[in-house]
Amino acid sequence: SSGWALVVAALPFATSRVLLSRMEYVNNVLVLRHLAWRHGLQLVVLDNDSHGQVDVEHLQRELDRGDIALVALTHVPMGEGMVNPAAEVGKRCRAAGVAFVLDACQSVGQMPLDVDALGCDVLVGTGRKFLRGPRGTALVHVRETLLERLEPALRDRQPTMRSPGGREPKAQARLLESWETSIAGRLGLGRAVDYALELGLEPIRDRVRTLADTMRSRLASVPSVHLHDRGLIKCGIVTFSVQGRTAEQVKACLAGHRINVSIAALPPSTADAVLWPGIGKQTIVVRASVHYYNTDSEIDRLIHALH
């Protein structure tokens, strides 16, 4: 969240409209609301399509209208198990010459991420979650053409002064870093990245999807369970609810069986609820995330406990 806010707040806002999805992470929305107030921006919430993912046709209509400062998209929302069509969004943003910021917090570490194929100008990921690195670490990729236009408030690693020869030093991603940092955390983050690359992101993605599909299939066989996952492409996040039980009750019950799950709020159904988090009633569901080290027998334990 800090990395996302740092780079987005450093972007130049020469135009007045910002497009964001209904699945945008709440902290990102709060940052955009602050920037909208500060710079006089208009926040436009994109519709979902019939599959529940971001509607690229609505995106195209807004891009055609012009005056777009940036497009913000969460690649994998915290609920509903979908993978948004980021590459298609990136393709349309590139054609329109609009900056595209991709929040890959839930996707980094569980699937390959090629920034050229995705077409994003900014990609932000976390060390924890699927990458399995230290908490409190993150990574930010900024396309070089955009990097040269960033104006971060904190210039702790790269001064703005010109060299004696009058040339400005070439912009580097380090301008987003502070001098004081957790060296141990960075080393752990680097090792987590190396470990994922050694295993291979394609095999990780395939294993995670297979386990998640197996879990969804077995959950569907439990009469009291309702699955909430949507999207044409799904990932390792599986969300469900149990009839007659709150998500908190299900989580506590499963913890008694030494099965760890979390709870998540489904994306709001209205644009107002996206822009003003907390208004209206939220749907809270159980979130069971699988990774490559999980097993079929662990899924069987979950299903047995739910029965």
pLDDT of residue 264: 93
Percent of the chain with pLDDT over 90: 79
Q: Which residues contact 219 (CB under 8 A, 6 or more apart)?
A: 225, 227, 238, 240, 303, 306
The pLDDT tens digits for 79-96 are 899 999 999 999 999 999
Q: Is CATH 3.90.1150.10 the right assignment for the domain spanning 201-306? A: yes
Strands 17-20 and 122-126: unpaired
Q: What is the mean pLDDT of residues 259-271?
A: 91
**Quick check: 249 pLDDT over 70?**
yes
Q: What is the mean pLDDT of residues 3-30?
A: 92
The pLDDT tens digits for 162-173 are 455 545 556 677
Q: What is the mean pLDDT of residues 299-307?
A: 96
The residue that leads in pLDDT, 255 or 181, is 255
**Quick check: 153 pLDDT over 80?**
no
Q: Give dist(CA 18, CA 72) in Å, integer.
A: 8
Could you give the residue range(s) of every CATH 3.90.1150.10 domain in the chain? Answer: 201-306
Q: 57-61, 149-153, 208-212: lowest mean pLDDT where?
A: 149-153
List residues bridging with 101 in a β-sheet: 72, 122
Rounded-to-10 torsion of CA 289, 291, 293, 299: 40
pLDDT of residue 119: 96
Q: 20-29, 239-248, 266-275: lowest mean pLDDT where?
A: 266-275
pLDDT of residue 254: 97
**Quick check: 278 pLDDT over 60?**
yes
Q: What is the mean pLDDT of residues 223-248?
A: 96
pLDDT of residue 147: 86
Residue 73, classed as helix, strand or coil, is: strand
**Quick check: 219 pLDDT over 80?**
yes
The residue that leads in pLDDT, 52 or 164, is 52
CATH class of 2-197: alpha beta
Q: What is the overall mean pLDDT for the chain?
A: 92
Could you give the residue range(s) of every CATH 3.40.640.10 domain in the chain? Answer: 2-197
Q: Which two tokens stand for residue 185?
A: 């955390």
- CA 18-22-25 angle, to 5 degrees, is 85
Q: Give dist(CA 143, CA 115) in Å, integer.
A: 9
Q: What is the mean pLDDT of residues 225-254?
A: 96
Q: Give dist(CA 173, CA 143) in Å, integer.
A: 9
pLDDT of residue 162: 47
pTM above 0.85, yes or no: yes
- CA 3-54-116 angle, to 5 degrees, is 55
